[in-house]
Each structure stands twice: as C-alpha cells, then as structure tokens.
Chain A
C-alpha cells in the first residue's frame, strides 16, 4: 500500500512539474505583455505581472489591423469547419454504412492521399489558384481545405461503431432516400464525432501559417497568424508589444479549448488507438 502511495505521490510531483513547464510560457507571455520592454530587458528581469497590458494592446491595435485579421481568421475557420463537417460526414456516412460498387477501392484511394505531403502542392496550387483569380482572396484559404481525407477516415470509424444498421433499415422502410437517412439517422448519432472533428478542424485552420503566408498577398488583408508575425517583424525586440499581440491572438482558442476540451482529448486518443 505504501509503495502505491509513494508511487502516486511521485507521479503527482512529476505531473505538477510538467504542468508548470507546459503553462509557464503562457504565464511569461502575460508577464511580458503587461510590462514595458525596458522592464523586461532589465537584469534581473521582472517576473511578475505588470500594469501596462492595455497600453501594449493599444500599440498592437495601432500597428496591425488586429480585429480585421481576427475577423478574417474567424470567417475562414468557421467556413472551413462547416464545409469539412458537412462533406466529411456525408462521405463517411456513405463509406461506413453502404455498399456500392468500387467502395473499397475508392476508400483505399482516399487512404492513399494521406501519403502526399502538403508541401508538394505548395507551388502548383499557388499557380492553379492564380489562374482561378483566387490569390489574395479568402476563397484560396477556404475551398482547397473544404474536405479532407483524415476527417472522412475518422468519421467513418466513428460512424461504423455508432450508427446501428437497424435505424437505417427503419428509415428506409419509412421511404427515406439516402440524404433523408443522412439527415435523420446519421447526423444526430454522429453529433459527438462532429463536435470533435469540428474543434479539431477549427483549431488547425486557426493556427495555419505557411499557406496563408503564401497566398494572402494583400498586406492589408492578412489572417491573424500572418499579421502576428508581421508585428514581430516590425517590432522585433519590443517584446511587450509583440507579446501583447501574441496574447490577444491566443486567448480565443484557449478559451474555446478549456470549455470544450475534455471530449476532444478523449477522442484524439481513441482515434490514435484505432490505428
């Protein structure tokens, strides 16, 4: 028993230490954002939260169109999430619960698309979008990512386990066609899976950097991450302002995550186990 207790205590000590390491950068971000740069540069550096947060946030707003950029990111993240949820769940539903000619072959093809790294398409996709006239517009950020293989794969696993065949048969007997079955049977049952995929997609689109950096060529219409790096480029070592900007950009997501995070984490683990 005592061995168990000690092991428990040691575990907690280790874990708490890890929590401190995980959380410390955020604390440090707040410290820097709320002090003035000379304070941060002094030796020894100030380690406590200061009182200049609003002043620094004001400087951020003066230098980049912060809320404009945040709006762009919100729009893009929401649009992609909605599209992904719709297209992926629809495809997953079809793959999971229906037999049709070529199904396995097509699903295999879908899995094969995992092999292609995104960087391979950076240059040609830029050229393609230039031909469409989409460079610099939000379409370039939304459309190419509107359906992805990972989402379909994951939702299919989920759908297979979660949707009972009887429900579908019952709907068919009631005269429902495929789409009606999807709406009345599939969607409601898939809702928790949709929640996970939705949060996962939203976070990834929100944090995306390289592709927006390349295609958003209008310096006045930048998504949040790119605008943040611009701030870093302009302000460089004026850490208090740069960190204020970073803090402002990070808070919305952390808020979302703290609220909805528990299920999200469980599902990530579950998904990994299925491999």
Chain B
C-alpha cells in the first residue's frame, strides 16, 4: 500500500475561489530526486556506454588515435575467427561441467540440510564461505592443487598407483579445473537457496503423498522438484548468466590467452585480450555484443526448458485424471 503525495483535498467550501490543482510532477519532486542518482549514474555509466559500444564496434580503434570506420568488418571477422568460436565452445563446456554437478550437489546438500536438525547455522556458514572469498585467491589455491608436477591431486593419484594427469596443460584438464573452482564456489550458495525453497513447501503436501502411498523417490521427483521449479529456474538462470561471464578463474589459472592451445579461453577472456591486450577496442566491443546475444539466447532457452513446464504438468495431470475417470467408469 502506497502513501499518496497529493494533498488531501479537504471538502472545499462552495464559495472558495477554485484553485488550480497543484502540479503532480512538481509535488513528486522529492521522489524524483530520490531516484535520480541511480538513473543519472545509469545514464552515464550504463545506457550511454551501451550505445557507445555499438558505435565503437563499427570501427577499428586502438583507443588512442582516431577511429577508423570499418562498417561490419569486425563482426564478419568475428564470425570467421576460430579463436572466438573456441572461446564460446570453452565457455559452454565449462558451463555444463560446472552447472550440472553444482545444481545436483546443491539439491543433495539442501535436502541433507533440510533433514539435519542440529548445527544448521554452522553448516550454512561453512557452505557459504567459499562464495565470499576472493576468486583470485581461490583460483590460486586450486591452481596449486591441480598443478601438473607439484599438485596435491596428482600426488594423491600417484599414491594410489595411477599416473599423473596434466591438469593445467591438457585441454580437458584445464576445463575440469576451472569447472571445479566454479562448482566449489557456488554449491553452498545454491544449496542455501534450495533449502529456503524446500522449507517453503508445507508438510501437508508430504503428508498427503504418504497417505497416497508414494515412495520417497516418487515424492522427491513428482512433488518436491516440481514445487521447487521456480527456485531451480532462478538458480539455473543466474548460473547460466554467471557461467557465460567467467573470466577471473580462467585468467588467474592459465593466463591471459587461456593456456596451451587456448583451452581455457573464455568469451570474456577473449574480450579482455582483444580490447586491452591487443588494443583492439572495436573488436572488443563486437565481442561484447556477441556475448550479450548469447546471454539472451540462453536465458530464453532456460526459461522455456524449466519455467514453461507448468502447462505441461497441468496437461499431464488432466490427462491422467481423464484416464482415471475413464477407468472408473
């Protein structure tokens, strides 16, 4: 419920001179002033840069001299640039490698947290700490764990009789290492969100399911997961958007160019490399737009896959009901 700022027009006496109603915009000036800092900052540092970046992407520019108009040349170069496509492939592979285990583990942990009765606060803090630590520091630690020659992981593999894996120089090794860092950072965060979702499901639903004789697996997949759909959608969308924007883990782990063969090069790494290492501002701007299109695309895909399921459920339920009534007849 909002409080109006228009002055209450007291019952005016009939014989008073009719006044002009106060200008509603002028009266709302304090509110406009209150929201203006954000919009001013957004205009200067949000909207304008976006429009400017379109302009830059039509030029070849090193950021210093004059801009040279090249039309769509940056974009056509982009489409034929193997490094760019490699960066997309890398980013997507890392995203799958990290998001799928991360969501599954988060569900498992959330479930466990839901069932656990004690130490809840301790667990939540412990699971959340990875998320608040600096990505640079975390990546450095994992870099040492995954190190080819001196890493803990290889030492462990050796101790059980397996051969060392060249994590940081093999294409898949690099991707797995980066995906591990991302997963480690976000499992706790997403588990806690799932937990909140789980806690929001009232016990009545579970009681009803038990009465109907549902097994725990049936309960989990047919009831819990569908009810968690909004939360899952939220985490999936945020993980997707975050996953497409990975930079720090890659750059700190394997360097500016994504390591041997560019296996760890992500889209944002390539943007950074093109714009600020190769001083190709126009190309960097073009890559930024390609990234934006990708993000929009994947958000839509996520929405369709996960979010649009409600009609499917009700349709399936209606069909089943129809079948039951038909059987009953």
A contacts B directly (C-beta below 8 A):
yes
Could you say which of B38, B48, B136, B159 contacts A124, with CB atoms under 8 Å apart?
B48
Restricting to B129-170, which residues have a CB under 8 Å from any CB of A? 129-130, 132-138, 140-142, 144-145, 147, 149-150, 152, 155, 158-159
Chain A CB within 8 A of B243 CB:
no
Could you say which of B3, B136, B184, B295 contacts A168, with CB atoms under 8 Å apart?
B3
Task: Name the distance in Å between B43's Cβ and chain A's nearest Cβ.
Answer: 10
Task: Name the distance in Å between A3's Cβ and chain B's nearest Cβ.
Answer: 10
Residues of chain B contacted by A22 (CB below 8 angstroms): 126-127, 129-130, 184, 187-188
Taken together as a complex, chains A and B put the C-alpha atoms of A25 and B281 apart, in Å, by: 38
- The tally of residues in A whose CB lies under 8 Å from a CB in B reads 103
Could you say which of B35, B117, B159, B276 contacts A94, with CB atoms under 8 Å apart?
B35
Q: Is the CB of B129 within 8 A of A257?
A: yes
Considering the complex, give the chain B residue whose CB is closest to the CB of A273.
B196
Q: Is the CB of B134 within 8 A of A225?
A: yes
Residues of chain B contacted by A14 (CB below 8 angstroms): 108-109, 112
Residues of chain A contacted by B292 (CB below 8 angstroms): 116-117, 119-120
Binary interface encoding of chain A residues 10-33 relative to chain B, with 1 for a CB under 8 A from any of its CBs, else 0: 111011001101110110110010
Considering the complex, give the chain B residue whose CB is closest to the CB of A248.
B137
Q: Is the CB of A91 within 8 A of B275?
A: no
Could you say which of A11, A98, A126 contacts B116, with CB atoms under 8 Å apart?
A11
Restricting to B19-38, which residues have a CB under 8 Å from any CB of A? 24-25, 27-28, 30-32, 34-35, 37-38
Q: Is the CB of B115 within 8 A of A98?
A: no
Chain A CB within 8 A of B197 CB:
yes
Taken together as a complex, chains A and B put the C-alpha atoms of A8 and B4 apart, in Å, by: 52
Interface of B, helix, strand, loop or mixed by DSSP = helix
Interface of A, helix, strand, loop or mixed by DSSP = helix
Considering the complex, give the chain A residue whose CB is closest to the CB of B274.
A123
Q: Provided the pairs A14-B109, A18-B127, A243-B141 are in contact, do residues A122 and B271 lie with their beta carbons within 8 angstroms? A: yes
- The tally of residues in B whose CB lies under 8 Å from a CB in A reads 101
Q: Is the CB of A121 within 8 A of B28?
A: no
Considering the complex, give the chain A residue whose CB is closest to the CB of B152.
A45
Q: Provided the pairs A172-B3, A210-B247, A265-B192 are in contact, do residues A144 and B41 lie with their beta carbons within 8 angstroms? A: yes
Q: Provided the pairs A119-B268, A128-B48, A214-B276 are in contact, do residues A178 and B31 lie with their beta carbons within 8 angstroms? A: yes
Task: Name the distance in Å between A233's Cβ and chain B's nearest Cβ.
Answer: 9
Q: Is the CB of A243 within 8 A of B144?
A: yes
Q: Is the CB of B116 within 8 A of A15?
A: yes
Taken together as a complex, chains A and B put the C-alpha atoms of A148 and B46 apart, in Å, by: 10
Chain B CB within 8 A of A36 CB:
no
Chain A CB within 8 A of B193 CB:
yes
Binary interface encoding of chain B residues 177-207 relative to chain A, with 1 for a CB under 8 A from any of its CBs, else 0: 0000000100111001101110010000000
Binding site for A on B (CB under 8 A): 1-5, 24-25, 27-28, 30-32, 34-35, 37-39, 41-42, 44-46, 48-50, 52-53, 56, 63, 105, 108-109, 111-113, 115-117, 119, 121, 123-130, 132-138, 140-142, 144-145, 147, 149-150, 152, 155, 158-159, 184, 187-189, 192-193, 195-197, 200, 230-231, 234-235, 241, 245, 247-248, 251-252, 268, 271-272, 275-276, 281, 284-285, 288-289, 291-292, 295-296
- 30 CB contacts below 8 A, A to B, read A15-B112, A21-B184, A25-B141, A45-B152, A87-B38, A97-B2, A98-B3, A98-B28, A117-B241, A117-B292, A119-B245, A119-B292, A120-B288, A123-B56, A123-B281, A124-B48, A126-B63, A127-B281, A144-B41, A152-B38, A178-B31, A178-B34, A203-B132, A207-B132, A209-B248, A228-B140, A243-B140, A262-B121, A262-B125, A273-B196
